[in-house]
Amino acid sequence: MSNNFLDTKIEFLKGVGPKRAEMLRKELGVTTFGQLLLYYPFRYIDKSKVYTIADINSEEAHIQLKGKITELQTLGERKGKRLVANLRDETGEIELIWFKGVKWLASSIIIGKEYIVYGKPSKYRNKYNIAHPDLDEVDQSLIANQVTLEAVYPTTEILTRMGLNAKGIHKIQKNLVAQLGNKIQETLPISILEQLKLIDKERAVINVHSPENEHLLQKSRYRLKFEELFYLQMYLLRQKVIKTETIKGAVFNRVGNYFNHFFNENLPFELTGAQKRVLKEIRDDIGYGNHMNRLLQGDVGSGKTIVALMSILIAIDNGFQACLMAPTEILANQHYEGITELLKGMNLNVQLLTGSVKVAKRREIHEELENGKLNILIGTHALIEDKVKFQNLGFVVIDEQHRFGVQQRSKLWRKGSPDPKTGKAVPPHVLVMTATPIPRTLAMTFYGDLDVSVIDELPPGRKEIKTIHRFDSSRLKVFGFIEEEVKKGRQVYIVYPLIKESEKMDYKDLMDGYESIIRRFPRPQYQISIVHGQMKAKDKDFEMQRFVKGETQIMVATTVIEVGVNVSNASVMVVESAERFGLSQLHQLRGRVGRGGEQSYCVLMTGNKLSADGRLRMETMVKTNDGFEISEVDLKLRGPGDIQGTQQSGLLNLNIADLVRDGQILQYARDIAVEILKDDPNLEQDKNHRLVSTLRLLFGGKVNWSRIS
């Protein structure tokens, strides 16, 4: 057994050579045998399952046909240019169409030759056709060897030009796999292999590139996916162990008068089960000297604030100060008012610090922070200014996480006070709250080194928001509905998209919409607010406040209202051009209503023509109010790379596993990693030796191994 084999330069592989090697490096980052083996197929053609053209009866699935091309035509000009081929088998004919690579395909397809065609049929004018199918010449050698599953590799235009199209890559992989046999070491501990009945590494690698049969292929893919996710989780969890060992937090082991008084006298309702559970999770963190860094996910209206407040009270019971930071002035104000009200009669000093607090007041706040008279400071970014110094900051709450960058968060960290013994600053415990749910699988990966709590239960008696989808053509009816609601004394949001690329058009749409709304709802009977991105912050605030105070009945806005304002009298959310919003954004917008006791509505307006995607988004919104369910659909539609806040993460560069589809495997992988680290946090035991060497190989310099070997 030798790893030299895997380190062999790719140019020495049969069928590669220096030129192709250079391109493989540039295009795919592949320079060695080992790296090429990690370049996995993205699907397989089952050569044994061939449909006949007459059998095609749905648009559902990808299928494979075998037939002769009888006609080939290039049609249209420029953007409309396309290649249309006619495929015939014994049972009928079907059109194949390509809009891309027309020239190259036109010159390479041979009329009269037999091809295997792979693609997804769609129906147009009552006839099926296939757009952008894959075309392969019928490979006699494969038929002779009775191999039925053939790997298909992703490729690039440049590689294709050098003869490394999907087929070409398949060929060099075959040359490489042919040399395997006692060349790839096992990377998982025997105990895991046995526990999960996984097949061994080399066999899996061979079968994933050249499957012997369907069963072995599935086992191989499972094994490789598991391994990939397992080591990622090992890495993340190990980082967490290191953090827990090196960063200590203040110990809040007392639940005292403030907490108890609040709980017994002030708490206006019974906590939901989910709220109790999260509160316990937080107490378990802060009670024993760990440093807490916790993400609290909970749908809009799930009652995150009260959980944050009760945690703050524990901090105060232990002699510390706390602060709560919100992304906008309006939100900070609302928190300030809400929390002051909740703490009535408790003799706690709560203050608000935002950009518009006057100098004298500001000075007073600074002073009281430093001499410890101030217990809870609520505010905006103003909190992180250097001038703001706490006597003893123990607990930080950040609302609506994605509005703050990591840097801002770390500034708050440093506001902790020094440990009397060591003189080192002890960071305050941090609770980050977000109403943008992240699917579990993603949370496990992106926040693998953070703790995540979830409030997955709404307070009782909350009415579901009724969501309806209407086409633009029924706008008059929607206006009629708005009128009824306003007559009942309710308030209404009408939201327009604002997307950077088409800012001008969007602005025009907004203004046109505003005009027609004013015409339909004239002053002085109706008062209308408008808020959009081109207004000055001060004017925006002024308009928002008018709406918050109920002076205006309708708020026309671009998505600037997305985050957290609470107008409990607002009962209707109309979203214009709803098809242009992503699911999580739509869900956030909908969360602006339904905050009072009244039945609330969300009306999604779209054009008559909707893409399949758009239709699914509307259907999902109409079907469910559950943010987690919505985030799962969102993930399936957009893929993990587009989920908020995850874009830059290198953790997404998985070779074979798929965070969308492999959630179950990920869960196993994480559970097993947790077990191992519980038993051997620093991976010092002999049986875990293989884990350490593999982790080192995979994550190299990124891992802090000082504690290990």
What residues make contact with ligand ADP under the rule CB under 6 A?
269-272, 275, 298, 300-306, 435, 459
Quick one: tokens of 227?
């391994």
Nearer CB in complex with ligand ADP: 184/306: 306
Quick one: tokens of 402?
């994605």
For residue 652, the minimal CB distance to ligand ADP (Å) is: 28
For residue 549, the minimal CB distance to ligand ADP (Å) is: 18
Residue by residue, DSSP assigns 545-606 as HHHHTTS-SEEEEEGGG-S----TTEEEEEETTGGGS-HHHHHHHHTTS--SSS--EEEEEE
Query: Whole-angstrom Cα distance, residue 336 to residue 342?
Result: 10
Quick one: tokens of 75?
């049609």
Q: How big is the CA angle at 78 (ends 75 and 83), to the nearest 5 degrees?
A: 30
- Cβ-based neighbour number of residue 678 at 10 Å: 10
Residue by residue, DSSP assigns 352-382 as EE-TTS-HHHHHHHHHHHHHT---EEEESGG
- Cβ-based neighbour number of residue 415 at 10 Å: 20
Nearer CB in complex with ligand ADP: 270/284: 270
Nearer CB in complex with ligand ADP: 330/365: 330
Nearer CB in complex with ligand ADP: 298/640: 298
- Cβ-closest position to ligand ADP: 303
Nearer CB in complex with ligand ADP: 269/542: 269
- Cα atoms in the Cβ-side hemisphere of radius 13 Å centred on 706: 4
Helix (H) or strand (E) holding 503: helix 503-520
For residue 434, the minimal CB distance to ligand ADP (Å) is: 10
For residue 459, the minimal CB distance to ligand ADP (Å) is: 3
Helix (H) or strand (E) holding 160: helix 157-161
Nearer CB in complex with ligand ADP: 337/675: 337
For residue 177, the minimal CB distance to ligand ADP (Å) is: 53
Nearer CB in complex with ligand ADP: 565/603: 565
For residue 289, the minimal CB distance to ligand ADP (Å) is: 29
For residue 391, the minimal CB distance to ligand ADP (Å) is: 28
DSSP 9: B
Nearer CB in complex with ligand ADP: 305/321: 305
Nearer CB in complex with ligand ADP: 291/304: 304
Nearer CB in complex with ligand ADP: 242/465: 465
Query: Whole-angstrom Cα distance, residue 375 to residue 372?
Result: 7
Strand order in the sheet with 491-496: 466-471, 601-606, 570-575, 491-496, 554-558, 528-531
For residue 283, the minimal CB distance to ligand ADP (Å) is: 18
Helix, strand or coil, per DSSP, at residue 110 = coil
- Contact criterion met (CB below 8 Å) for 100 and 132: yes
Query: Whole-angstrom Cα distance, residue 189 to residue 128?
Result: 51
Task: Compute the chain's Rg from CA coordinates.
Answer: 30
Nearer CB in complex with ligand ADP: 272/600: 272
Asked if the peptide bond before residue 154 counts as cis, ω within 30 degrees of 0, the response is no
Enumerate the β-bridge partners of residue 601: 466, 572
- Cα atoms in the Cβ-side hemisphere of radius 13 Å centred on 592: 28
For residue 399, the minimal CB distance to ligand ADP (Å) is: 7
For residue 708, the minimal CB distance to ligand ADP (Å) is: 41
For residue 330, the minimal CB distance to ligand ADP (Å) is: 13
